[in-house]
Amino acid sequence: MKAIWKPKIAIPTILPAIIALTLPSIAIADDPGTCFMVTSSGRTINLGKLCGVTAPNSGFFRVPIKRRSGKTPVIDVTFNGSQVFEMILDTGASGSLITQEMSRSLNIKPSGTINASIADGSEVKFKTGVVSSIAVSGAVVNNVEVAIAPKADIGLLGHDFFENYDVKILEKQIEFNRR
With vertex at residue 141, the alpha carbon angle to CA 99 and CA 161, rounded to the nearest 5 degrees, is 60
Which CATH class, in words, describes the domain spanning 63-178?
Answer: mainly beta
Instruction: Using alpha carbons, list the distances in angstroms from residue 121 to 39, 106, 117, 145.
Output: 54, 30, 6, 22
Amino acid 2: pLDDT: 54
Flag whether pLDDT at 50 surpasses 70.
Answer: no
Residue type at 72 in one-letter notation: T
Flag whether pLDDT at 140 surpasses 50.
Answer: yes
What burial class does residue 6 get, using C-beta atoms within 10 Å of its C-beta: 0-12 exposed, 13-18 middle, 19+ buried?
Answer: exposed
> Which among 101, 103, 97, 127 is positioned nearest to 115, based on CA atoms?
127
pLDDT band at 43 (very low <50, low <70, confident <90, very high): confident
User: Alpha-carbon distance 148 to 97, whole Å?
Assistant: 6
pLDDT band at 46 (very low <50, low <70, confident <90, very high): low
Amino acid 74: pLDDT: 97
The model carries a pTM of 0.66
pLDDT band at 60 (very low <50, low <70, confident <90, very high): confident
Residues 6+ apart with CB under 8 A from 11: none
pLDDT band at 15 (very low <50, low <70, confident <90, very high): very low
pLDDT in tens, 113-136: 988 887 788 888 999 999 999 999
